Amino acid sequence: MTPDIQSKLPQVGTTIFTVMSALAVKHNAINLGQGFPDFPMNPKLTSLVNETMQSGYNQYVHMCGLPALRERLAEKVNEDYNTHVNPETEITLTPGGTYAIYTAFTSILQPGDEVILFEPAYDSYIPNIEINGGVAIRIPLEFPDYSINWELVKSKVNSKTKAIIINTPHNPTGSVLTQEDIAQLRSIVEGTNIFIISDEVYEHLIFDNKEHLSILRYPDLKARSFVCFSFGKVYHCTGWKMGYCIAPESMMKEFRKVHQFNCFTCNSPVQFALAEFLKDKNQYRELGSFLQKKRDYFKSLMAQTPFKPLPSFGSYFQLYDYSGFSNESENDLAIRLTQEAGVATIPVSAFYKTPVDNKVLRFCFAKKEETLEAAVERLVKFF
């Protein structure tokens, strides 16, 4: 007899990314759904990993991450955001940014605690909150620019509010926080015990001369924040699942208590390689212009279709409005495009716990030019 499991996530099924990617394979579709590049990463970085493996750096490194890598990250943060971070006590390497976010939630949440989040939201947030006994307080971003209604946020804050999670540049919409947003956030949390979890995995994928307003720039916010990052997004190696979290020492102590009994430590050869590769600052400082060219090229191609672009100021993604030519649900159109046009996308409604159908699909433009060309050619034929 097989024991029954009382699910901690009874409403969670297979993610939309897995569903659409499987559908793309089944129909030999070009996958512009899931957020990963199809172009090669820098060969210097892969060579560095090979060198470190060949040199014998294959055993456990420090539980918190290779000291040399943490020191390099502290230098980067100081240069990029004009703030001091202690590499010994305030930085922990993690197997990906999503893991960092989960561990941050697990470090602070008690049953019944409320977390304010903004929808559409990256799909791990609500399960992370709920598996820790928390309650997700969902606030819709204002369509079509996906801005935050801060008055609504204020109305939701109460004695049970444990944290607010923000994401900039934002997945799936490509929106970014402004100085006014930061001012509003500071005003709301001032004098409270509210934590901030800041998902900044797309920190360098930012366009149109926008500035990434990292929480690390603001001492009062930094003092209450877990700030989560991803090497996968910066160096086009999403499959490596390498990231890190920065938080004040007292908060990082609790983060590390969870981390040491879950992952314990991360891939050693990759950490040695990253510590060396980070010395080449242009690799991440030029990332925004590199991806902006892809966004703009894809946008020029998509002008041949009836899709209408919504602004994207960062990330791998751009949303496209199809309300002008179809009344189908986002899910139905996404499936039909995969099956009949041979192009896979993601319905933005999948990023809401209760689907909201604004007639918008998410496209990933972090692809080779020939991939984007082939995808749009298929869409043109479809229409």
CATH code, 338: 3.90.1150.10
In a domain, 6, yes or no: no
Stated length of the chain: 383
- Comparing CA positions, the residue from 254, 215, 272 lying closest to residue 62 is 272
Tokens describing residue 14: 């297979």
Instruction: Answer yes or no: do 339 and 365 share one domain.
Output: yes
Phi-psi region of 10 (alpha: psi -120 to 50; beta: other; left: phi over 0): alpha
In a domain, 50, yes or no: no
Residue where one domain finishes, among candidates 250, 280, 310: 280
Beta-bridge partner residues of 363: 318
Instruction: Answer yes or no: do 81 and 188 share one domain.
Output: yes
Cα 45 from Cα 343, distance rounded (Å) = 31
Cα 20 from Cα 363, distance rounded (Å) = 12
Cα 203 from Cα 246, distance rounded (Å) = 14
Q: Are strands 135-140 and 114-119 parallel, antiparallel or unpaired?
A: parallel
At 256 the pLDDT is 98
Host domain of residue 129: 56-280
In a domain, 11, yes or no: no
Prediction pTM value: 0.96
Helices (H), 246-368: 249-260, 268-277, 282-285, 287-302, 330-336
Instruction: Answer yes or no: do 369 and 225 share one domain.
Output: no
Cα 283 from Cα 296, distance rounded (Å) = 20
Q: What are residue 86's phi and psi, to 5 degrees?
A: -80, 115
At residue 11 the predicted structure's pLDDT band, cuts being 50, 70 and 90, is confident
In a domain, 62, yes or no: yes
- For residues 20 and 344, the answer to whether their CB atoms sit within 8 Å is yes
Does residue 255 register a pLDDT over 90? yes
- Comparing CA positions, the residue from 51, 70, 46 lying closest to residue 240 is 46
Taking only the tens place, the pLDDT of each residue in 201-237 is: 999 999 999 999 999 999 999 999 999 999 999 999 9
Taking only the tens place, the pLDDT of each residue in 302-348 is: 999 999 999 999 999 999 999 999 999 999 999 999 999 999 999 99
Cα 349 from Cα 344, distance rounded (Å) = 15
At 19 the pLDDT is 84
In a domain, 48, yes or no: no
In a domain, 328, yes or no: yes
Instruction: Answer yes or no: do 291 and 264 share one domain.
Output: no
At 14 the pLDDT is 77
Q: Which amino acid is at 133?
A: G
Instruction: Answer yes or no: do 182 and 293 share one domain.
Output: no
Cα 136 from Cα 116, distance rounded (Å) = 6
Compute CA 133 distance to the chain's CA centroid, rounded to the nearest angstrom: 23
At 141 the pLDDT is 98
Taking only the tens place, the pLDDT of each residue in 167-207 is: 999 999 999 999 999 999 999 999 999 999 999 999 999 99
In a domain, 10, yes or no: no
Mean pLDDT of the region 38-43? 94
At 73 the pLDDT is 98
At 2 the pLDDT is 86
In a domain, 1, yes or no: no
